[in-house]
Structure formats: C-alpha cells, structure tokens
C-alpha cells in the first residue's frame, strides 16, 4: 500500500481546467492575435514555466509569451477569488486519507498564491501537509521534478507515493518519477501512450477512494 498521496490541482481536485480554457481567447484578442486553435489548449494543459512559454511561441512566434501569460494570470486572479468547484469525491477522499493517517501534499504547476487561494476558498487547506508549486522546481511537467520534490517533503521515496493526475503531462511526470500513478481524466481521455504509463485509470475520485479502501493501491 502507498505511504503518501500527491495531488495535482487543476482538473484533478478542482473543476478549473474549463475555466482556464476561457481565458486564452479573450487575452489573445486583447493582444491583437488570432484565437487559439483546439490543439493549443490540449498542448498547454499541465505545462508551466519555460515549457508553456515555448508552447505559446510555437503558435504565436511574434508575440512575447510573457505578455499573454500576464493577461491570463490577471483574469485567473479575478475569477478564482470567487471560489472554484471541487471535483466529485475530493472531500470524501481527503477525509478518508486523514482518517487512516496517510500524508497528503499538493504538487501543481500553478503559482503558490493561486494554489493556496483555491485551497482556502474550498475549505480543504487543512487536509494538506505542504504545497509544491511550479517555481519550486527547475523543470516542469512532464519532467518528474515536482513529484520528486513532493515525495522528498513527505519524507518518502517517490515509488511509495500515489500520484493523482488528470493531464497527459502529469501522468508522464508521475511515471517518470516512479510513483504509483493514477489518472482521473478531466477534459481528455487517455491515449494509447498514456495507458502504458499509468498504474490505472479511475472515472472519478470516488473510485480512487474505493481502491484505497480495498487495499488495491
């Protein structure tokens, strides 16, 4: 059985990926560039830092990616201050993990302030022992750095940790870290590549909870 649980945030704990997707088009229009195509959104999920900037540049080579990111973050700060919806089963899973004494940590590519804001407005901050954000590590997902750091902070080897992820890049990072990696799909269903990387796929966090209770994770 696993000895600690590492939670992604957007799309896994909170139903925020759909909200994030609403920011890009108005921000692009604000900066006078064309609307992003569907593949822009797919590729951006789970990225942060320089990888996200390179992704933006691949679609908008003449645009300073930081200007677009600044516009997106400004909208995010305003929207997320109003609160975000929790994904089904989150509170029940956290309560169970607290009950059995498994340590819990958030490992998200988002800025620390936004992570802490979401944890506070949803009332789940008390369940977590620590937070690792994108700026805490040198390389973002799909590199394993953020999950390796999260495991280190829990005092565990990554192979003894359960990583819960919804994005392709998150699954890639969890697998690269050697963790028990469970995908809970949000906006994208797993491809053949992703199916080879994760330990299992669950339809929601209630199913993750059931597997833990059965001793299958």
- State whether 170 and 189 are in the same domain: yes
Tally of domains within the chain: 2
- State whether 73 and 179 are in the same domain: no
Please report, for the domain that includes residue 64, its CATH number: 1.10.150
Examine the residue annotation and report whether 130 is marked as an active-site residue of this protein. no
Among 10, 145, 166, 186, which one carries the catalytic annotation?
Answer: 10
How far are the Cα atoms of 67, 78, 188, 216 from residue 56, in angstroms, in the given order?
A: 11, 22, 20, 40
- State whether 35 and 105 are in the same domain: no
Task: Give the pLDDT confidence of 96-126 residue by residue, as tens digits.
Answer: 999 999 999 999 998 899 999 999 999 999 9
Which of 53, 80, 107 marks a domain boundary? 80
Examine the residue annotation and report whether 8 is marked as an active-site residue of this protein. yes
Which of 61, 80, 99 marks a domain boundary? 80
- State whether 166 and 111 are in the same domain: yes
Boundaries of domain holding 37: 17-80
pLDDT band at 9 (very low <50, low <70, confident <90, very high): very high
- State whether 55 and 145 are in the same domain: no
**In 127-185, where do the E strands start and end?**
130-132, 161-165, 180-183
Among 8, 145, 166, 186, which one carries the catalytic annotation?
Answer: 8
- State whether 93 and 70 are in the same domain: no
Question: With contact defined as beta carbons under 8 Å apart, do 33 and 67 qualify?
Answer: no
- Interatomic CA distance for residues 4 and 151, integer angstroms: 8
Q: What confidence score (pLDDT) does residue 16 get?
A: 92
Q: What is the mean pLDDT of the chain?
A: 95
Q: What confidence score (pLDDT) does residue 47 get?
A: 78
- State whether 123 and 74 are in the same domain: no
- State whether 26 and 68 are in the same domain: yes
Question: With contact defined as beta carbons under 8 Å apart, do 179 and 159 qualify?
Answer: yes
- State whether 10 and 68 are in the same domain: no
Please report, for the domain that includes residue 169, its CATH number: 3.40.50.1000
- State whether 71 and 117 are in the same domain: no
- Interatomic CA distance for residues 28 and 32, integer angstroms: 6
Question: With contact defined as beta carbons under 8 Å apart, do 141 and 169 qualify?
Answer: yes
Task: Give the pLDDT confidence of 140-162 residue by residue, as tens digits.
Answer: 899 999 999 999 999 999 999 99
Residue 46 pLDDT exceeds 80: no
């Amino acid at each position: 059985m696993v000895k600690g649980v590492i939670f992604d945030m957007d799309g896994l704990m909170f139903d925020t990926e759909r909200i994030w997707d609403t920011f890009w088009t108005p921000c692009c229009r604000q900066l006078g560039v064309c609307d992003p195509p569907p593949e822009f959104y797919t590729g951006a999920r789970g990225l942060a830092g320089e990888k996200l900037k390179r992704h933006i540049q691949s679609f908008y080579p003449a645009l300073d990616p930081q200007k677009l990111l600044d516009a997106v973050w400004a909208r995010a700060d305003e929207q997320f201050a109003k609160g975000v919806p929790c994904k089904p089963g989150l509170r029940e899973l956290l309560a169970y993990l607290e009950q059995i004494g498994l340590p819990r940590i958030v490992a998200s590519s988002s800025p620390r302030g936004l992570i802490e804001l979401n944890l506070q407005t949803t009332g789940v901050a008390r369940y977590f022992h620590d937070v690792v954000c994108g700026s805490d590590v040198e390389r973002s997902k799909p590199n394993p750095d953020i999950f390796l750091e999260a495991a280190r902070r829990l005092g565990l080897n990554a192979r003894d940790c359960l990583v819960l992820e919804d994005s392709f890049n998150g699954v890639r990072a969890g697998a690269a870290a050697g963790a028990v990696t469970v995908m809970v799909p949000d906006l994208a269903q797993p491809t053949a590549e992703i199916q080879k990387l994760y330990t299992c796929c669950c339809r929601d966090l209630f199913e993750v909870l059931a597997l833990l209770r059965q001793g299958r994770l």
